[in-house]
């Protein structure tokens, strides 16, 4: 499988169409974010989600985060949320923080990457997407497409947009508790000034 190489000046919606079509068919797609490369699937396709577990050799039951390309998708998944939480999200997103929220009494992770290729891909999909880092469980997160080779054979498309800008993992912050708790220190500092 040849990677889908995205040039810096590419017409993103057109260039990403093969990846979007693959994800909508229920296949896995590897895509860049500002932190690392992720492997994603339709959130409404249980068989595709199981293929992510198999590809990563990830323990069953360890959940994946929703990856969002715009606020409309967030609203469609989460529905109403408090003004306090919404203001906090809006002050940090798009950006390299995964927030844990209470959705229907289930603690659920959400990422809104700032990477333009990730945003264009996720917007074009038009359905909720869950994803996680595109590496075998326990191995380092991949900061370029070549580093995804451990899981790439399981993906229909690998979007190669070059090295990620931040080369690290997202910070994970739990907003289901007050005050919020940082559960993984990544590239974004927490607490922040804004």
Domains and CATH numbers, the chain: 4-184 (3.90.870.10)
Give the pLDDT score at 92.
96
What are the residues whose beta carbons fall under 8 Å from the beta carbon of 144, sequence distance 6 or more? Answer: 37, 160, 162, 163, 164
H helix or E strand, kind and range, residue 75:
helix 71-78
The length of the chain is: 194
Q: Using H for helix, E for strand and C for coil, what is the string for 89-134?
A: HHHHCCCCEEEEEEECCEEEEEECCCCHHHHHHHHHHCCCEEEEEC
pLDDT of 1: 63
pLDDT value of position 193: 47
- Specify the pLDDT at position 8: 84
pLDDT at 5: 94
Query: For the chain, which ranges sit under pLDDT 70?
Result: 1, 192-194
Q: Please state, in angstroms and rounded to a whole number, the distance separating the CA atoms of residues 98 and 92.
A: 10
Question: What pLDDT score does 192 carry?
Answer: 65
pLDDT score, position 80: 84
């Amino acid at each position: 499988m040849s990677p889908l190489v995205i040039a810096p000046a590419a017409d993103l919606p057109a260039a990403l169409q093969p990846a979007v079509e693959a994800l909508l068919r229920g296949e896995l797609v590897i895509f860049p974010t500002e932190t690392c490369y992720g492997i994603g699937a339709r959130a409404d396709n249980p068989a595709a989600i199981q293929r992510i577990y198999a590809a990563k050799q990830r323990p069953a039951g360890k959940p994946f985060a929703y990856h969002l390309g715009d606020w409309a998708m967030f609203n469609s998944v989460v529905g109403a949320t408090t003004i306090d939480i919404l203001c906090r999200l809006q002050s940090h997103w798009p950006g390299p923080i995964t927030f844990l929220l209470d959705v229907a009494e289930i603690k659920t992770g959400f990422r809104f990457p700032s990477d333009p290729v990730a945003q264009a891909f996720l917007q074009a999909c038009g359905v909720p997407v869950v994803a996680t880092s595109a590496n075998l469980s326990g191995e380092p997160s991949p900061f370029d497409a070549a580093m995804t080779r451990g899981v790439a054979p399981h993906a229909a498309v690998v979007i190669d947009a070059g090295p990620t800008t931040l080369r690290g993992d997202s910070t994970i912050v739990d907003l289901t508790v007050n005050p919020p708790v940082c559960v993984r220190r990544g590239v974004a500092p927490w607490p922040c000034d804004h």
